[in-house]
Amino acid sequence: MIQAITEVMDQKLAEDPRVMLLGEDIGVNGGVFRATDGLVEKYGEDRVVDTPLAESGIVGTSIGLAMNGKIPIVEIQFLAFIYPAFEQVVSHAARMRYRSRGQFEVPMVIRTPYGAGIRGPELHSESVESFFAHTPGLKVVVPGSPYDAKGLLVSAIEDRDPVIFLEPTKLYRAFKEEVPEELYRVPLGKAKVVKEGTDLTIFSWGAMLREAVNAASKLEKEKGMSCEVVDLRTLYPLDRDTIIESVKKTGRAVVVHEAHKTAGLGGEVISLINDEALIYLKAPVKRITGFDVPVPMFSVEEDYMPTLERVKRGIEETVNF
């Protein structure tokens, strides 16, 4: 996935002189995950900028850059380090268009690695997408595959609104997938049915998608269950139609996410289902999520996240309700 992301930035830098990258260690170092490797050599320090260590500074100046004709792609080193910039994101980036009634706009992308599962230190494994999904004016995107990473990032860069682009660290180097070389777009706001099924729908995104798909295939083989897997991909705004359509078909659903359960986006998915498809439900929609504890030290992080086992049993309980 990381190559797909680098490729987009490379191509966009080449194609559109307005595009700039900003972040900590993204220059000669190429970023801590090497997402920007080689780009400063190719496009120079004016376009690939190693910033001072100050996230509010990065996002705040990027807002100014964006209002004045640039398209900044910001890298926040890890999701939790966006907190110093929280005010700039929530009170400004998300609202500039609104407040100015369209006179000023902030077309920018904030890319940031997120999620647990790669033995990161404390605060390197957070999954707080719901903060941003509660902030009108922002879009929140999470690619679940290299192909989508490329297509969604292109769409995010071309979008005229600020996009929080969350990159699941666990997927960075997780699987190989051929990705077209040319630029293509995967539309924001559209979920993807990764696997069709009839007994139950698994809604998921990011790194948890793999557990979802694995659980679905295992249960298919082991118990002959037919699970549909939906990658929500854009978390704000959600693709309600795809969600509802699937639940109407299967009548059962689980949501799998690694974020904390309480006030996580599982609740939003459930609420949409409750609104539109309650009468189709044959069982409560189960949330299989990270626990309501701070993401723990990595020695136990695998048990913090929904494991394949938990996902499987959650599905079985829902099917056997």
Partner 1 sequence: MAMKSSELQKAGSWESEVFQVLNPEGKLLSELGGEIDEELMIKMYENMQFVRAFDRKSVILQRQGRIGTYAPFEGQEASQAGSAMALSDMDWMFPTYRDHAAAMIHGQEMYRVFLYWMAHMDGTTCTEGKKILPPSVPIATQLLHAVGTGWASKLDGDKDVSIAYFGDGASSEGDFHEALNFAGVFKTPTIFFCQNNGYAISVPFEKQSASRTIAQRAAAYDINGVRIDGNDIFAVYLTVKEAVERARRGEGPTLIEAVTFRYGAHTTADDPKKYRNQEEVSKEWRDNRDPLTRLNKFLTENGLWDETKEAELLSKVNAKIDEELKRAENYPKSHALQMFDHVYAETPWHIAEQREELKKYLAKDGDES
Ligand X SMILES: Cc1ncc(C[n+]2csc(CCOP(=O)(O)OP(=O)(O)O)c2C)c(N)n1
What does the alpha-carbon distance between residue 236 and residue 141 come to, in Å, rounded to a whole number? 7
Cβ at position 11, least distance to ligand X in Å? 27
Question: Nearest to residue 197, comparing CAs of 216, 221, 175?
Answer: 216
DSSP characters for 101-146? TTSS----EEEEEE-S-S---TTSS---HHHHHTSTT-EEE---SH
Q: Which stretch binds ligand X (CB under 6 A): 76-84, 127-135, 208-216, 223-231?
A: 76-84
Q: Applying CB under 8 A, does 258 fall inside the site for a second copy?
A: no
In the complex, minimum distance from the CB of residue 198 to partner 1, in angstroms, rounded to a whole number: 26
The residue from 6, 51, 61, 77 that contacts ligand X (CB under 6 A) is 77
Q: What amino acid occupies position 35?
A: A
Could you tell me which of 280, 76, 290, 229 has the C-alpha nearest to residue 164?
Answer: 76
Contact window for ligand X (CB under 6 A) among 77-85, 157-165, 282-290, 298-306: 77-85
Interactions with ligand X, residue window 32-61 (CB under 6 A): 53, 55
Residue 264, classed as helix, strand or coil, is: coil
Binding mask 112-131 for a second copy (x = CB under 8 A): ----------xx----x-xx
Query: Residue 60: which H helix or E strand, with range?
Result: helix 55-67
13-32: contacts with ligand X (CB under 6 A) = 24
Residue 262 and residue 31: Cα distance in Å, rounded?
Answer: 33
Q: Which of residues 57-86 bind partner 1 (CB under 8 A)?
A: 57, 59-70, 80-81, 83-84
Residue of 160, 173, 223, 282 that binds partner 1 (CB under 8 A): 160
- Active-site residue among 124, 134, 257, 260? 124
Instruction: Tell me if 100 contacts a second copy by CB under 8 A.
Output: no
Q: CB nearer to ligand X: give 77 or 127.
A: 77
Report d(CA 255, CA 266) in Å as an integer. 6
Active site residue 124: yes
- What residues are labeled active site? 124
